[in-house]
Every structure is written in C-alpha cells, then in structure tokens.
Structure 1
Amino acid sequence: MARKIGSRYTAHQILGRGSAGTVWLGEGPDGPVAVKLLREDLASDQELVGRFVQERSALLGLEHPHVVSVRDLVVDGNDLALVMDLVRGTDLRTRLDRERRLAPEAAVAIVADVADALAAAHAAGVVHRDVKPENVLLDMQGPLGPGGAHPALLTDFGVAKLIDSPRRAAGGRATAPTTRIIGTPDYLAPEIVEGLPPRAAVDIYALATVLYELLAGFTPFGGGHPGAVLRRHVTETVVPLPGIPDELWQLMVQCLAKAPASRLRASELSVRLRELLPLLAGMPPLDVDEPDDAETEPEPAEEPAADPVRRRGVVPLVPGSATDSNRDTHTSMRVPAPDELAGGALGTARVPRPAGGHRPGSARHRAEAARKRRLVLSASALALAAAVGVGSWLAVSGGEDPAPPKQDGKHSAPGPR
C-alpha cells in the first residue's frame, strides 16, 4: 500500500525492516529512491528531530562513488525519513549468507571500495559508527572489479549518530552519552566498549572485522552472549587465518589493534589493499573450519554423533530472536564496568575448530574435559581403595609393616633392595 512521505515522495513497498525503522522503495521527482522511515517513537522525539535537521547539510554534502548518497531529509508530522539513492543490487550480508566466504581477491576489492567511502566521510568529519555487511550494498548494474566483485557502496551514514547523541535532562543538562552502546556487537571497537567517544578509527576496526568475516565466514570475536562478545573485543587477540599472504594478515592485525592510534587511516587502508590485489588473483576461498558455536547451547549429556555446521555473523541481543532483515541493526547496550572487562573471556575468541574436536573454551570442550576429569578421579579412587584393602590384609595377616611416611611431605623413591 502506497503512502506519502512529505509532499515530494511516495513509498510503494517495504524493502526491509530494522530496529531504527523501515526501508521503502519510493518514487520522487527525479525517479526511484530508497526511503528510510524512522520509527514513530524516534520521530516524536523533538530533540532528535532538531539534531536531524542540524545534520542535514553534512549528510546531503557527502557524495562519493562508493557512498549511497542522501538526497533529502523529510520532517513531516510523525514522519522522519532519509531519502537516499536506490541501489539496484543486494547487500553484502545476503551474498555472505549465500556463499559463506569469499575469495580473497573479491573480499579485498569490496573492502577497498568501502575504505574509499570512509576516507571521503572522515575527510568531511563524518564517522559512520556502524560498518557491517548489512550496510554495504553491491551494485549489480556496475562494472565487475577484481575477483568479479561488484562495486560496493556504504549506506546508513548518520543514523547511529542521530540515535546516540546526548539527551537533555531537566534544566537543559546533557545526560551522559556513555551509558549505552550503539552498534552491532561483533563489529564494535574496544574503545566504544570502554565508553570512549567514537572517532574515525572505530570505522577502521569495524571494516577490518568485516574483511576477516568475508575471508573466514565468521567474525573474530563473535559467538555466545553479547556481553562476552564485547569483552573479547577488549581483552583478546585475533586468531590468525591460515592460507592468506602475510602482508594481508599484518594489515588486518594493524587495523584490529586495540589502540585506535595504531590503526591505519581509511585512505591508507584503501591504497594498501589495492596494492595487494595482484598477489591475491586466482586464490580460492579459504578452507577454514567453522568455529564451534556450542557456547550458545546447554552442555550435552552425551556426545552427539556430529556437530551441526552453522554460521554466526550478527549476534541477536534477545536469545532466540532473529536478526534484523535489512541493514539496520543498531543496538542499545549498557557499557560493561571495568571489573567485568578485566575478567577476560573463557578460551580463545573464535578459534577455528580442529578436525574431529571442539574449539578450546567451548561448552562441548569443557564437557569433554569434565568427563575426562571424572574418569581420572574414578580411577584414582579405585586405586586408593585397592591400596587400603591390601594394607588392611597385611595388618591382619601379620605381614611386614610398611615403612613410616617421611615427615617432609614429599614422596620418596624406593631404594635398592
């Protein structure tokens, strides 16, 4: 059912839904457009509407071949909408779900396009803050690039900033902006988790996480409860991926550094990635075992016959719920306290599962270890019972008394007889 958006646009059908609103296929004076209609509760927030208008010039002025341009911002009654270019294609999450992992050349070409988009945004003073596969669109009508990759465009600029700006309390005092986290857990930079203000480096960290996911089929710190995911970003190091050139791996490690100052700038990352493309030509997708996702399941009473192969990308905040159907999965989470972060995560973040075994630190790995400990304890108890029985028999039968125990608490080796 069609609906009017302001006086210039008509929305015809829903393309996708997210936690911040709904994306519609629309029509405007200059042809087809995509309209992101924000939720009614956001549209009724007068302070957010004010920020929306203030951000208008920055968002409308952001133009680049790899950026989905914002054409207009509409404030009309209960409607608060961004009108954007319509990209004929799909998003990167859809391709990743279909193919599980990409060939290195195609993955690097796509990420280099997104790095170009971020370089333009950062030069204009705009931080995206929610870089993830759902926010990368692939233009199926554009020319094919290295590895057969379609041109990649970054979308949803400004949405995270609008939602997460400080609110005003009574008396005009701004509330603290560090009590919530806006973003998707798998892609959040450590400084965001620790409550620091987001700078351009958070986009580099998120983009490097996307590149890792495109190559491996899973994110480096994802899996399990969202709180555990956030803690891993702060406390754990990324697990190496076998089979990629060392130059590419070192580049990824630098961009996934815990310290923001250690990461490359977007323009530098784009150049370095494109320099590596000839080295990656013809390489097939990596042969990497999926990580064991048993941390999200109850520990089994008996070992199952086979592990189900399941891919995890975005972690839903509500257990059992589905992730958003489109490229808008902003979340609002409490920032963990320092003592919560200090504990570290159990095991290694996302170690690829060894063949025939379980990932160290997973629930099944811990269950297997517990079973082995029980077997060892049972064997020890049987041995102790046997020793006591033999000693009692010797005492009753008048056998030779055993030598008295040494007083230093150490076991002594038997001497020659």
Structure 2
Amino acid sequence: MARKIGSRYTANQILGRGSAGTVWLGEGPEGPVAIKLLREDLASDQELVGRFVQERTALLGLEHPNVVSVRDLVVDGNDLALVMDLVRGTDLRTRLDRDRRLAPEAAVAIVADIADGLAAAHAAGVVHRDVKPENVLLDMQGPLGPGGSHPALLTDFGVAKLIDSPRRTRATKIIGTPDYLAPEIVEGLPPRAAVDIYALATVLYELLAGFTPFGGGHPGAVLRRHVTETVAPLPGIPDELWQLLVQCLAKAPASRLRASELGTRLRELLPLVTGMPPLDVDEPDAEPAEDEAPAAEEAAPQGERVRRRGAVPLVPGAKPADSNRDTHTSMRVPAPDELAGGARGTARVPRPAGAPRPGSARHRAVARRRRVALGAAAVVLAAAAGVGAWLATSEDDAGATPQDTNNTAPATP
C-alpha cells in the first residue's frame, strides 16, 4: 500500500527489511528512488533526529560512482527517512547466498570499487562503520567489469552513526555487526576510517573463502577472535594478494592501508588472479564446548549436522543468536581479562574441500576405519612374520645332520 513520505515522496513497494528500518521503492519529483524509512522508535528519539539533521549536509554532499547517493533526508512527524538513488540490482549478500564464493578476479574487482567509494567518503570526513555484503549493491544495468563483475556501490552511509547516539548506547556498549568489527571497536576505542578498511578486508576474505575469517559461534567468541587471533591463510591465492589481506586485517589501525591505496593495489593485482576459479576450501567449525560436543554428536540423528555452540560468550547471560551478521547488534565492551582468555594463536583454519569436520560422526567413523585397517594390517604382518620364521626353521631342519639336530657330540666307541 502506497504511503506519503514528507511532501515530495511516495513509498509504493517494500524492497527489503533490516534491523534499522524498511527500504521502499518510491517516487519523487525526479523519478524512482529508494526510501529507507527508519524504525518508529528511532524516529521518536529527539536526540537522534537532531543528529540526523546535523548529518544532512555531509551525506548530501557525498557523490561518487561507487556510493549510493543520498538525495534527501526527510523528518516528518513519526517518519525519519533517507531518500537515495535507486540501484537496479541485488546486494552482495544475495550473490554470496547463491554462489557461496566468487572467483578471485570478480571478488578483487568488487572490493576495489568499494575501496574507491570509501576513499571519497573518508576524504569528506564520513566513516561508514557498517561495511558488509548486505550494504554493497551490484548494479545489474551497469557495464561488466573484470571477471564478469557488476559495478559495486556502497549504501547505508550514516545509519550506524545515527543509531549509535550517546543516549542509546553508553561507553560500555558496542554497535555493529560482529563478523566485521575492527579490534579497536571491540576494545572500546572510537571508530575512525581504519575500521572501514578492516571490514572491507573481511568482506574480501569472505568473497574468496565463503566465510569470514573470525566468524562462527556466539558473538562474544567472534569479538574475542578479532582481538586475540591471527587470520588463517587461504590456500590457492597469490602471495601478493594474501599479504595485502593480512595488512588490512592488522590489529593496529595505523598498519592498515588507506582506502585509496587499497583500491589502487587491488587493481594492480587483478592480472595475477585473471581466470582463476573459485577457491576449493570448506568452512571450519566453530569451537564446540569440550564437555558437550561428543554427547551432542552421538545424540543427533544419523546424517543430521549438529549446530555448534561457539566459545564461551563474553557477555554473561546472552543467548546465542541465529545469525552473527545481524546489523547493529548491541554488545558489551569486553574487559581486558575477558579478551585475554581463550586465545589460540590462529583463527579457525579452512579445511580442504570434502574433508570431514573434526569431531563429527563422519570424522570419527573415518578414524575408526583407519584404526581397523591398521589393526588388520598389523595382524597380516604378524602372521606373515610367523610364517616366514616357520619356513626358515623348516629349511634349517631339512638340511641338518642328526648330530646337529640333537646338538650333542657323537658317542665314542
């Protein structure tokens, strides 16, 4: 059902829903637009509305081919809305849900586009703070790029900052999407441009591997990994691309590249990945609780995968979420002693495609078959050794004299 948004726009059809609000296909004085209508509880927050108006100039002035432009900000009664350019296409999360992972050439080209958009935003003093596949749109009407990739545009600028107002979140809270949060945010430091680089490098890792480097399990476990663990290597990609990923996933913000540098470097690496097929690796499991994993596996129906619980949560009393990619999840800032616990040196290591998951019923069955095979081989070897010894003894007996056989001296006459 159509509804009016302010005096200039009409929202006609819902395109999607998120934790911050609903995106509508709308109509304005200059034609079709996308309208992000924020939740009513956000619109009723007068402090947030004031911040919304303050951000208007910066957001309206952000123009770049790889940024979804904000055309207008509407404050009208209970309506708080961003009016944006309409992109004819899909988001990167939908593409990942369909393909699981992308060929390296397409992945590098898409991330280079987003890096260029971030460079323009950072130059204008705008930090996105929520870079992830859901906020990357692929323009299906644009020209195809390297690896058959469509032009990529970053959307939802300003939403994370608007929602993360002092009144809504105290200094002891974190606002963000756990899989993509930079370590300095987890440690309670203010977000600067480097947090977007970390998040974008996480997206590149996910496009290549099909999973994020520190994700899996309870959000508390994910936060700890960001701070304490190193990224696990991805087999099969050029070393130059891997070193770039490692640099942009550095724990220290100053060690990461700037957005403009990242975009340039990625395009320089495109010839190295041209024609490469998607990587052939499987996602590692989240770590199970030591006292419950075997029992859970045994109790599960045959062939049914057990849903793993991650490491011990950092937030006491919190319940495991169905998805650790929910936008703007509110989490307590972990204390230093909590972040210091549970480190294992490296993050979850990708498994070769087709390999059984450690601890799974299939993994134990393979181990049992291997033990049985080794046992059978040992029996065969032992039997063979016994037969060989018997044959050797028989041959000795056949060629020996009576004296030799009895091992006694002949009797004297």
What's the TM-score, normalizing by structure 1?
0.79
Q: Deviations over 1:79-131 (max 9, x none)?
A: 00000001000000000010000000000000000000000000000000000
Q: Of 184, 197, 204, which aligns to 1:204?
A: 197
The answer as to whether partners of 1:293 and 1:310 remain within 8 angstroms in 2 is: no
Q: CA–CA distance in 2 between the matches of 1:227 and 1:319?
A: 9
- C-alpha spacing 1:296/1:154, structure 2 compared with 1 (3 Å): farther
Q: Of 234, 240, 265, which aligns to 1:241?
A: 234
Q: Which residue number corresponds to residue 228 of structure 1?
A: 221
State how 1:257-296 maps to structure 2 within 5 Å: 257-293=250-286, 295=288
The answer as to whether partners of 1:105 and 1:280 remain within 8 angstroms in 2 is: yes
- C-alpha spacing 1:80/1:237, structure 2 compared with 1 (3 Å): same
State how 1:315-330 maps to structure 2 within 5 Å: 319=320, 321=322, 329-330=327-328
The answer as to whether partners of 2:216 and 2:324 remain within 8 angstroms in 1 is: no
Q: Which residue number corresponds to residue 122 of structure 1?
A: 122
Q: CA–CA distance in 2 between the matches of 1:136 and 1:19?
A: 16
Q: CA–CA distance in 1 between the matches of 2:203 and 2:24?
A: 26
Q: CA–CA distance in 2 between the matches of 1:350 and 1:322?
A: 18
- C-alpha spacing 1:136/1:279, structure 2 compared with 1 (3 Å): same
Q: CA deviation at 1:165?
A: 2.7
- C-alpha spacing 1:79/1:309, structure 2 compared with 1 (3 Å): same
Q: Of 171, 188, 191, which aligns to 1:195?
A: 188
Q: CA–CA distance in 1 between the matches of 2:183 and 2:324?
A: 23
Q: Which residue number corresponds to residue 31 of structure 2?
A: 31
Q: CA deviation at 1:31?
A: 0.7
Letter in 2 for 1:299: A
Q: CA–CA distance in 2 between the matches of 1:20 and 1:249?
A: 34
- Aligned CA RMSD, in angstroms, stands at 2.7
Deviates more, 1:295-304 or 1:120-129: 295-304
Letter in 2 for 1:47: E
Q: CA–CA distance in 2 between the matches of 1:116 and 1:47?
A: 32
The answer as to whether partners of 1:182 and 1:333 remain within 8 angstroms in 2 is: yes
Q: Which residue number corresponds to residue 339 of structure 1?
A: 337
Q: CA deviation at 1:265?
A: 0.2
Q: CA deviation at 1:358?
A: 3.2
Letter in 2 for 1:319: P
- C-alpha spacing 1:287/1:39, structure 2 compared with 1 (3 Å): same
Aligned-partner SS, 1:332? strand
Q: CA–CA distance in 1 between the matches of 2:319 and 2:49?
A: 28
Q: CA–CA distance in 2 between the matches of 1:33 and 1:86?
A: 5
Q: CA–CA distance in 2 between the matches of 1:310 and 1:342?
A: 26
The answer as to whether partners of 2:88 and 2:141 remain within 8 angstroms in 1 is: yes
Q: CA–CA distance in 2 between the matches of 1:207 and 1:349?
A: 18
Q: CA–CA distance in 2 between the matches of 1:151 and 1:296?
A: 43
The answer as to whether partners of 2:23 and 2:37 remain within 8 angstroms in 1 is: yes
Q: CA–CA distance in 2 between the matches of 1:309 and 1:61?
A: 49
The answer as to whether partners of 1:225 and 1:296 remain within 8 angstroms in 2 is: no
Provide structure 2 residue ranges, at least 5 long, that are not aligned to the other structure: 309-317, 369-413
Q: Which residue number corresponds to residue 395 of structure 1?
A: none
Q: Deviations over 1:6-34 (max 9, x none)?
A: 00001111111111111111111111111
Q: Which residue number corresponds to residue 163 of structure 1?
A: 163
Q: CA–CA distance in 2 between the matches of 1:146 and 1:117?
A: 18
Work out which of the two has the higher radius of gyration on C-alpha atoms and give 1 or 2: 2
Q: Which residue number corresponds to residue 379 of structure 1?
A: none
- C-alpha spacing 1:163/1:320, structure 2 compared with 1 (3 Å): closer
Q: CA deviation at 1:222?
A: 0.3
State how 1:1-20 maps to structure 2 within 5 Å: 1-20=1-20
State how 1:7-406 maps to structure 2 within 5 Å: 7-167=7-167, 177-293=170-286, 295=288, 299-301=293-295, 302=297, 308=305, 319=320, 321=322, 329-345=327-343, 348-353=346-351, 356-359=355-358
Q: CA–CA distance in 1 between the matches of 2:239 and 2:307?
A: 28
Aligned-partner SS, 1:108? helix
Q: Deviations over 1:311-333 (max 9, x none)?
A: 9xxxxx86364678xxx822111
The answer as to whether partners of 2:182 and 2:195 remain within 8 angstroms in 1 is: yes
Q: CA–CA distance in 2 between the matches of 1:343 and 1:318?
A: 20
The answer as to whether partners of 1:89 and 1:141 remain within 8 angstroms in 2 is: yes
Q: Which residue number corresponds to residue 410 of structure 2?
A: none
Percentage identity across aligned positions?
85
Q: CA deviation at 1:276?
A: 0.5
Q: CA–CA distance in 1 between the matches of 2:183 and 2:261?
A: 21
The answer as to whether partners of 2:228 and 2:345 remain within 8 angstroms in 1 is: no
- C-alpha spacing 1:187/1:323, structure 2 compared with 1 (3 Å): closer
Q: Which residue number corresponds to residue 404 of structure 1?
A: none
Provide structure 1 residue ranges, at least 5 long, that are not aligned to the other structure: 168-174, 312-316, 373-417
Q: CA–CA distance in 1 between the matches of 2:346 and 2:223?
A: 14
